[in-house]
Amino acid sequence: MKPTVLFLCTGNSCRSQMAEGWARHLKGDVIESYSAGIEKHGMNPHAVRVMAEAGVDLSKHFSKTIEDLGPVHFDYVVTVCGHAHEHCPWFPGKAKVVHVGFEDPPRLTKDMPDGDEKLAVYRRVRDEIRRFVETLPEALATPHVSKRLKEMLTAKQTLVMPDAYDPISARIIEQAGFKAVQCSGYSYSLAACKKHEIDIGLEENLAITARIVEAVSVPVMADGEDGFGGVEQIPNTIERYVKIGTAGINLEDQVLDRQPGTRIIDSGLMREKIRTARITAEAVGNPDLVINGRTDALRAFGSRKDGLREAIQRGNLYLEAGADIVFVTAVSTLEEVRELVREIHGPLSIAAGLARDLHAFSINDLKELGVARVSLPSIAISAAIKAMLQSMDALKSGVFTDLIREGRLCSPQDIGRLIGP
C-alpha cells in the first residue's frame, strides 16, 4: 500500500498546492498525495502559471481545509511554511509530521509589479519544491535533519553549535554560517525572566523550540532537560519533539529542583531513560534522532577527581544505552577535557564560553583536542542582554549620537537579510 502524504500550510493556495502537484506528477506511483490548509485562500494564479510551464496542470485544483478532505488516514504530514513569522499549522493525530520550509512567493513579491521579476520568484520556489519531492518517500522515512546532524557529529571536524533562545537568535546563528543550532533551556528561562530553568515546562519549551525549528533550515537540537519526568514520561516527550521536527535532544541526569547544589539521579535510572528514548525514537519513525546524554557528575561531587571518574563511567554507560554523544558539564580545565576525550568511548560534547571557563579554553583549543561538539549555552543571550543594556543606557543622553557612532542599531538591510524582503 502506498503511503499517504498531506502537504499542509496556512491557506493552501501556493506552496502546498505546488507540492501536491509535483508529487502526483513525479511520485504518483509510490505515494498518495493531498494538500490542505487551516484556511482557504483560493488558488494563486501565479503558482498555477509557473507549474503549467513545467508541465504540471493545477487548473482543476482548489483550495481546501483539512476538514474538506474527510476521513483520510495520513502516514505523513509535511508542513511547508518557511519562516518564523509564519505559523505552521499543528496537525493533531498520529501521522508523522515533517517540517520542510519553503519561502512564500506571495509575501516575497507583494510589492512587485506583475511580470518576469515576480514570476522568477515563483519559479525558484517551484523548483526547490520539486527537488524535495524528488527525494520522496525516502526523505520521510528517515528524517533528513537528524541524519545530517548525526553525520556532522561523527565527522572529523568539530561541530560548533551556538545556543538559541528564540527564532531570531536561531536565524542569526544560521546566517552566521553555523551548521546546526542548539536550544538552551537556561536561555529560555532568562528570556522569560524566570529565576529557575525548571520554570519553563514541557509545553512552553516545546512551543519555543517549534518556532526555532520553523525559523531555520539547519538541524536543531532540543533541550529536553531531564525528559520532564521519570522514565514513564520519556515516550511522550520524545514523540512530541520528533513531531515538531527537532533533529536531536539533550537528556540530563541532573535533579531539577530549586534546592541549592547539584544532585544527579541513579545512573541505572538515567540509562533506562536513554534506552527508552532510543526505542521511542525508532517507534515514531526517526531512528536517527540524535540523543545527547548529559551528565552533571562533575558538579555533584565534592572532589573534582571523583566527579570526573563518575562522569566518564556515566558517559560510557549512556553510550551503551543508546546515546549518540555524551555531554559532560562543568568542565573547567583543558586537562579535564583531555581525560574525557581519552576515556569516553564515543563523541564528546563540551560547553564553552561560560563564565567559569571563558578564560580556561577556547573553541580552537577544544577542536585541537578532538572534541566532537562544542555548545555555547549563553553566548547569544548574554550578548543580546549586554547590547540592550548599553543601548538603553546610551538613550539617557537624550540623543542618538552614541548609538549611531558605535553602530549599535541594525539597518533595514540587516533586518531584510534576516527576515526577508
Instruction: 411-417: list long-range contacts, CB under 8 Å, 24+ apart.
Output: 417/175
Predicted confidence (pLDDT) per residue in 66-76, tens digit: 889 988 888 88
Q: Active site residue: 9, 14, 193, 410, which one?
A: 9
Active site residue 183: no
Fold of 148-377: TIM Barrel (3.20.20)
Q: Mean pLDDT check: name the lowest of 229-238, 283-292, 382-391.
A: 283-292
Q: Active site residue: 81, 183, 193, 410, which one?
A: 81
Q: 295 by DSSP, 3-state: which?
A: strand
Nearest partner of 37 among 65, 14, 63, judged by Cα: 65
The interaxial angle of helices 304-321 and 334-343, nearest 10 deg, is 40
Mention every residue, 6+ apart, whose C-beta is less than 8 A from residue 144.
Answer: 135
Instruction: Write out the three cell numbers for 312.
Output: 566518564
Instruction: Write out the three cell numbers for 161.
Output: 553549535
- pLDDT score of 55: 97
Residues above pLDDT 70, as percent of the chain: 95
Q: Sign of the C-alpha dihedral, residues 94, 100, 24, 46?
A: positive
- pLDDT score of 85: 38
* Dist CA 393 CA 396 (whole Å): 6
Predicted confidence (pLDDT) per residue in 101-149, tens digit: 788 999 999 889 888 999 999 999 999 899 889 888 877 765 578 988 9
Report the Cα 106 to chain-centroid distance in Å: 26
Confidence label for 387 from pLDDT (cuts 50, 70 and 90)? very high
Q: What is the mean pLDDT of the chain?
A: 91
* Dist CA 248 CA 290 (whole Å): 4
Q: 264 by DSSP, 3-state: which?
A: strand
Residue 85 vs residues 41, 103, 199, 418: alpha-carbon distances, Å: 18, 11, 26, 11
Q: Which residue ranges make up each domain of the chain? A: 4-141, 148-377, 382-419
- pLDDT score of 403: 92
H/E element holding 314? Answer: helix 304-321
CB 328 within 8 A of CB 348: yes
- pLDDT score of 83: 43
* Dist CA 208 CA 141 (whole Å): 26
Q: Mean pLDDT check: name the lowest of 89-103, 209-223, 281-295.
A: 89-103
The interaxial angle of helices 202-215 and 167-175, nearest 10 deg, is 40
Class of domain 4-141: alpha beta
Q: Mean pLDDT check: name the lowest of 16-30, 80-94, 134-148, 187-201.
A: 80-94
Q: Active site residue: 14, 88, 183, 410, which one?
A: 88
Please name every residue paired with 349 in a beta bridge, in sequence order, or none if there are none.
327, 373
For the cut 60, the answer to whether the pLDDT of residue 93 exceeds it is no
Predicted confidence (pLDDT) per residue in 293-345, tens digit: 999 999 999 899 999 999 999 999 999 999 999 999 999 999 999 999 999 99
At which residue does the C-alpha cell 552533571 appear? 296
Q: 114 by DSSP, 3-state: which?
A: coil
- pLDDT score of 131: 87
Residue 385 vs residues 11, 102, 178, 359: alpha-carbon distances, Å: 37, 31, 21, 21
- pLDDT score of 357: 87
